[in-house]
């Protein structure tokens, strides 16, 4: 084998192992969506301990963050050419990719330190004082090699998940800002959950309301039973249709105790739509005229996360914040079951340690997944009150 073919073979092997031969082909759930065809899936049941207490959460979180850091390092080596073919995209914004990778490396270190605040020296997930990302990764590699037998099935499953998940995110970063998404904020008025307090999470549900007696009611009933709140990002046209068939009182009763934000008038990208400002104004006016003031969250969630880079001043004049998310359930995706959603969300919550969870009340999986996730974490996390989301940093 010549040196050239050896290098080429090594590269191919690296790429193959990085993706487990998964191609991240963009599919269209609806016009405008750029979601991945193959979604990162984990099996959290392989973790042999409970995470319903803070020490249990922290221990699983430390193990997840260490392994995630290694996956990030491996995937971060992908060249532009490798990303073009693996993600089947037409261009790679290298600056955006590097920015995301650097942010994520910083977060890995920060989150590990948070998770290790009450570390016991005898615990294999505790690696002691770390001064840099490089030092953390060095220790992570050692933990990876010496992890106790009972955790190896979890580790190997997690590694596949982490590489696939980093692939999903790298793809979004490579497309940004040509195609905007939740991967990056354009300004500080945009909110994505990455500055929330440690172990604080918010629930959000998009694309409703459904027709009377449909999934929106069922999702709301589930939340009330769980004694939790969420922000429902509604489409103006769907909300108006339900209002016309009922009354203001009915719409207030429907969302009582919960929060309603705007998802625009129609489910269209607000990055390339010449009516984007009218869509936002019209939806805001409808919500304000219909619902009690404390139910209306001054938030706009862009369909597909797509909005214009220069839209900041407009949202400020409207007293609205762009509400992105950082923990995506992929519950709309037909390749993803409710069990997949549960495992994916639990795993991401352990890696990220805080954030805004994205679900859809027009799909049935959230109704099953949310109670399971709440039960799994018990008292170890703080589910934020939806009325406070707009005031978060
Ligand atoms: Zn949507």
pLDDT tens readout for residues 191-237: 999 999 999 999 999 999 999 999 999 999 999 999 999 999 999 99
Q: Rounded to an integer, what distance in angstroms lies between the CA atom of residue 47 and that of residue 60?
A: 8
Task: Tell me, yes or no, whether 9 lies in a domain.
Answer: no
Number of domains in the chain: 2
C-alpha 260 – ligand 1 centre gap (Å): 14
- Residue 77: CB atoms within 10 Å: 11
Peptide bond before residue 314 is cis, with ω within 30 degrees of 0: no
Task: Tell me, yes or no, whether 368 lies in a domain.
Answer: yes
Task: Tell me, yes or no, whether 139 lies in a domain.
Answer: yes
Residues 241 and 304 placed together within one structural domain of the fold: yes
C-alpha 179 – ligand 1 centre gap (Å): 16
Residues 38 and 105 placed together within one structural domain of the fold: yes
Residues 225 and 88 placed together within one structural domain of the fold: no
Decide: 33 and 153 in contact? Cβ < 8 Å.
Answer: no
C-alpha 7 – ligand 1 centre gap (Å): 44
| Six token digits for residue 82 | 């490798």
Query: pLDDT value at position 39?
Result: 86
C-alpha 358 – ligand 1 centre gap (Å): 10
C-alpha 180 – ligand 1 centre gap (Å): 14
Residues 209 and 164 placed together within one structural domain of the fold: no
Q: What Cα–Cα distance (Å) separates residue 197 from each residue in 42, 194, 353, 393?
A: 25, 9, 9, 10
Task: Tell me, yes or no, whether 194 lies in a domain.
Answer: no
Helix, strand and coil percent figures for the chain, each rounded to 5: 50, 10, 40
pLDDT tens for the chain, 393 residues: list them: 445 545 555 554 455 455 543 444 444 344 445 556 568 999 999 999 999 999 999 999 999 999 999 999 999 999 999 999 999 999 999 999 999 999 999 999 999 999 999 998 899 999 999 999 999 999 999 999 999 999 999 999 999 999 999 999 999 999 999 999 999 999 999 999 999 999 999 999 999 999 999 999 999 999 999 999 999 999 999 999 999 999 999 999 999 999 999 999 999 999 999 999 999 999 999 999 999 999 999 999 999 999 999 999 999 999 999 999 999 999 999 889 999 999 999 999 999 999 999 999 999 999 999 999 999 999 999 999 999 999 999
The residues near 340 (Cβ < 8 Å, ≥ 6 apart) are: 39, 41, 330
- Residue 277: CB atoms within 10 Å: 15
HSE-up (13 A, CA, CB side) for residue 222:
22
Q: What Cα–Cα distance (Å) separates residue 360 from each residue in 68, 218, 368, 392?
A: 27, 12, 12, 22
Task: Tell me, yes or no, whether 109 lies in a domain.
Answer: yes
What is the percentage of the chain residues whose pLDDT exceeds 90? 88
The residues near 34 (Cβ < 8 Å, ≥ 6 apart) are: 26, 28, 172, 175, 179, 181, 304
Q: First and final CA of the chain: distance in angstroms?
A: 56
Q: Rounded to an integer, what distance in angstroms lies between the CA atom of residue 133 and that of residue 138?
A: 9
Q: Rounded to an integer, what distance in angstroms lies between the CA atom of residue 260 and that of residue 252?
A: 10
Last residue of a domain, one of 141, 159, 175: 175
C-alpha 340 – ligand 1 centre gap (Å): 20
| Six token digits for residue 209 | 């309301």
Buried b (16+ CB within 10 A) or exposed e, 350-361: bbbbbbbbbbbb
Residues 205 and 335 placed together within one structural domain of the fold: yes
C-alpha 207 – ligand 1 centre gap (Å): 5
Task: Tell me, yes or no, whether 32 lies in a domain.
Answer: yes
C-alpha 200 – ligand 1 centre gap (Å): 23
C-alpha 331 – ligand 1 centre gap (Å): 11
Residues 254 and 326 placed together within one structural domain of the fold: yes
pLDDT tens readout for residues 273-325: 999 999 999 999 999 999 999 999 999 999 999 999 999 999 999 999 999 99
CATH code: domain of residue 252: 3.20.20.370
C-alpha 332 – ligand 1 centre gap (Å): 9
Residues 167 and 297 placed together within one structural domain of the fold: no
The residues near 85 (Cβ < 8 Å, ≥ 6 apart) are: none
Residues 170 and 211 placed together within one structural domain of the fold: no
C-alpha 269 – ligand 1 centre gap (Å): 10
Task: Tell me, yes or no, whether 180 lies in a domain.
Answer: no
HSE-up (13 A, CA, CB side) for residue 5:
2
C-alpha 121 – ligand 1 centre gap (Å): 46
Residues 113 and 24 placed together within one structural domain of the fold: yes
C-alpha 325 – ligand 1 centre gap (Å): 12
Residues 155 and 212 placed together within one structural domain of the fold: no
Q: Which domain holds residue 103?
A: 17-175
Residues 211 and 142 placed together within one structural domain of the fold: no
What is the reported pTM? 0.92
Task: Tell me, yes or no, whether 183 lies in a domain.
Answer: no
Residues 128 and 259 placed together within one structural domain of the fold: no
Decide: 380 and 56 in contact? Cβ < 8 Å.
Answer: yes
């Amino acid at each position: 084998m010549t040196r050239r073919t050896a290098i080429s073979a090594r590269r191919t092997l690296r790429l193959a192992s990085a993706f487990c031969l998964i191609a991240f082909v963009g599919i269209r759930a609806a016009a405008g969506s750029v979601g991945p065809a193959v979604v990162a899936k984990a099996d959290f049941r392989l973790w042999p301990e409970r995470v319903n207490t803070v020490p249990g959460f922290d221990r699983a979180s430390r193990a997840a963050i260490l392994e995630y850091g290694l996956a990030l390092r491996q995937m971060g080596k992908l060249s532009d050419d490798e990303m073009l073919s693996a993600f089947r995209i037409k261009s790679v914004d290298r600056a955006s990719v590097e920015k995301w990778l650097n942010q994520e490396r910083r977060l890995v270190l920060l989150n590990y330190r948070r998770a290790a605040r009450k570390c016991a020296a005898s615990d294999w997930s505790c690696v002691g004082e770390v001064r840099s990302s490089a030092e953390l990764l060095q220790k992570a590699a050692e933990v990876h090699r010496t992890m106790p037998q009972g955790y190896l099935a979890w580790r190997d499953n997690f590694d596949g998940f982490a590489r696939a998940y980093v692939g999903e995110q790298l793809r979004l970063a490579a497309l940004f800002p040509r195609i905007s998404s939740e991967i990056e904020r354009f300004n500080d008025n945009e909110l994505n959950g990455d500055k929330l307090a440690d172990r604080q999470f918010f629930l959000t549900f998009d694309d409703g309301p459904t027709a009377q007696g449909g999934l929106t009611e069922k999702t709301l009933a589930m939340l009330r039973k769980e004694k939790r709140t969420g922000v429902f990002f509604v489409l103006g046209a769907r909300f108006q249709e339900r209002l016309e068939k009922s009354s203001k009182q009915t719409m207030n009763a429907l969302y009582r105790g919960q929060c309603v934000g705007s998802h625009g008038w129609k489910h269209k990208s607000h990055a390339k739509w010449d009516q984007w400002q009218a869509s936002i104004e019209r939806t805001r006016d409808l919500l304000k005229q219909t619902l009690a003031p404390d139910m209306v969250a001054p938030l706009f969630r862009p369909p597909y996360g797509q909005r214009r880079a220069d839209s900041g001043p407009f949202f400020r004049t409207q007293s609205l914040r762009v509400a992105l998310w950082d923990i995506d359930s992929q519950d709309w995706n037909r390749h993803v079951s409710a069990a997949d959603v549960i495992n994916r969300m639990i795993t991401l919550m352990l890696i990220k340690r805080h954030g805004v969870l994205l679900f859809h009340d027009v799909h049935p999986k959230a109704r099953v997944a949310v109670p399971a996730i709440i039960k799994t974490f018990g008292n170890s996390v703080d589910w934020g009150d939806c009325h406070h989301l707009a005031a978060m940093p």
